[in-house]
């Protein structure tokens, strides 16, 4: 198989490209997304929510390359044995190699308990519900001095979450998705951006391998329990039978997004009565969760 640009040996198929042209294609597509959706402000530090996995390290690599000395890594350590320590090491190696500042915030220090410990006592609670709520809260709390939080969400992640919200009849939640989420005018809320929004997972994996970004590609042990893994398998099957399915989900969703945002943007922003962080109710989900665990 030859590269469609130069006839060198292709290292990636669909599009068929050699190493040099695949890297150019990947970086240009991310730059176009950043520009089109105005993801990165002209000034200020960029907080990259880093898990140590391929998606967040590729995001960190590119933002550090495009905006030198502005990107910093923030890792939330949930306390998942056999998974998180390895990815903390991967992030440390990467940040040392590129001279990027990093910070680690742990559930244990913040709530007094690691996720594994919480789940041993609260067997009926879902790992991802606890983890997602606390992680979002801590990311926002510890990124107040940054202009944006960049995450490694990709085309696969986003098409999964769109379908999950449709299947759960959660239309309001759909209005909070997209390449750029949240409002910078909302006090206490740091805007979130997704530079890899249009990049497929297999493209990110190829890019990280070609760039020699070391990551062990392991998956959280709790991921198998998540509804998301069923939706992921379903979409992967559909994508094989009908290539372009995930891209179509994203494209259709982006056409609907302005209408959804208009419909659900009503209501004035509030601050949590307990911690002062932004919330749509009177007490934020993280404080409600803290009561339960």
Q: Does 223 bind ligand SF4 (CB under 6 A)?
A: yes
Asked if residue 118 binds ligand SF4 (CB under 6 A), the reply is no
Q: Which is nearer to ligand SF4, 171 or 223 (CB)?
A: 223
CB within 8 Å of 108: residues ≥ 6 apart: 77, 79, 114, 117
- Measured CA to CA in angstroms, residue 111 lies from 107, 137, 141 at distances of 6, 12, 14
Which helix (H) or strand (E) segment holds residue 245: the answer is helix 245-264
Scanning residues 47 to 86, which ones bind ligand SF4 (CB under 6 A)? 78
Q: How far is the CB of 182 from ligand SF4 (least distance, A)?
A: 19
Cα separation of 157 and 225, whole Å? Answer: 16
- Regarding 220 and contact with ligand SF4 (CB under 6 A), the answer is yes
Our CB check for ligand SF4 shows the closer of 77 and 203 to be 77
Q: Which is nearer to ligand SF4, 22 or 116 (CB)?
A: 116
Taking alpha carbons only, the member of 152, 133, 132, 188 closest to residue 73 is 152
Determine contact, residues 43/147, Cβ cutoff 8 Å: yes
Under the binding rule (CB under 6 A), the answer on residue 132 touching ligand SF4 is yes
Closer to ligand SF4 by Cβ: residue 109 or 242: 109
Residue 128 touching ligand SF4 (CB under 6 A): yes
Between 226 and 260, CB nearer to ligand SF4? 226
Question: HSE (CB half, 13 Å, CA atoms) of 55?
Answer: 22
Indicate which single residue of 40, 226, 249, 284 sits in contact with ligand SF4 (rule: CB under 6 A).
226
Q: Which of these, 149, 171, 163, lies nearest to 263 by C-alpha position? A: 171
Judged by CB under 6 A, does residue 222 bind ligand SF4? yes
Q: Minimum Å distance from CB 220 to ligand SF4?
A: 3
User: Closest distance between ligand SF4 and the C-beta of residue 71, in Å?
Assistant: 22
Instruction: State the minimum distance, in angstroms, from the CB of residue 273 to ligand SF4.
Output: 26
Provide, rounded to whole angstroms, the least separation between the CB of residue 225 and ligand SF4. Answer: 8
Query: Where is 102: in which H helix or E strand?
Result: strand 102-106
- Full DSSP string of 171-224: HHHHTT-SSEES-TTSTT---EE-TTTT--HHHHHHHHHHTT--------TTGG
Q: Binding ligand SF4 by CB under 6 A: which of 127, 134, 177, 250?
A: 127
**Count of residues making up the chain:** 293
- Please give the residue ranges that form the binding site for ligand SF4 (CB under 6 A): 78, 127-128, 131-132, 220, 222-223, 226
């Amino acid at each position: 198989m030859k590269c469609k640009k130069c006839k060198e040996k292709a290292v990636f198929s669909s599009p068929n490209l050699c190493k040099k042209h695949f890297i150019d294609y990947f970086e240009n597509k991310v730059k176009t997304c950043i520009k089109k959706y105005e993801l990165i402000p002209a000034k200020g530090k960029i907080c990259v929510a880093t898990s140590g996995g391929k998606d967040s390290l590729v995001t960190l690599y590119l933002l550090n390359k495009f905006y030198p000395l502005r990107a910093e890594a923030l890792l939330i350590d949930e306390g998942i044995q056999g998974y998180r320590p390895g990815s903390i090491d991967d992030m440390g190696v990467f940040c040392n190699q590129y001279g990027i500042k990093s910070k680690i915030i742990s559930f244990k220090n913040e709530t007094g308990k690691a996720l594994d410990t919480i789940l041993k006592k609260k067997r009926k609670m879902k790992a991802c519900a606890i983890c997602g709520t606390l992680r979002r809260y801590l990311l926002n709390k510890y990124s107040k001095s940054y202009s944006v939080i960049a995450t490694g969400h990709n085309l696969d992640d986003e098409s999964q979450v769109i379908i999950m919200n449709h299947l759960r009849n959660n239309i309001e939640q759909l209005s909070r998705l997209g390449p750029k989420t949240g409002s910078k005018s909302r006090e206490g809320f740091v805007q979130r951006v997704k530079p890899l929004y249009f990049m497929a997972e297999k493209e990110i994996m190829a890019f990280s391998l070609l760039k020699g970004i070391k990551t062990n590609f392991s998956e959280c042990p709790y991921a198998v329990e998540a509804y998301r893994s069923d939706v992921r398998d379903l979409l992967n099957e559909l994508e094989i039978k009908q290539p372009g399915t995930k891209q179509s989900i994203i494209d259709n969703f982006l056409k609907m997004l302005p209408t959804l945002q208009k419909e659900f943007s009503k209501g004035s922003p509030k601050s949590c009565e307990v911690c002062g962080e932004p919330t749509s109710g009177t007490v934020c989900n993280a404080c409600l969760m803290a009561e339960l665990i």
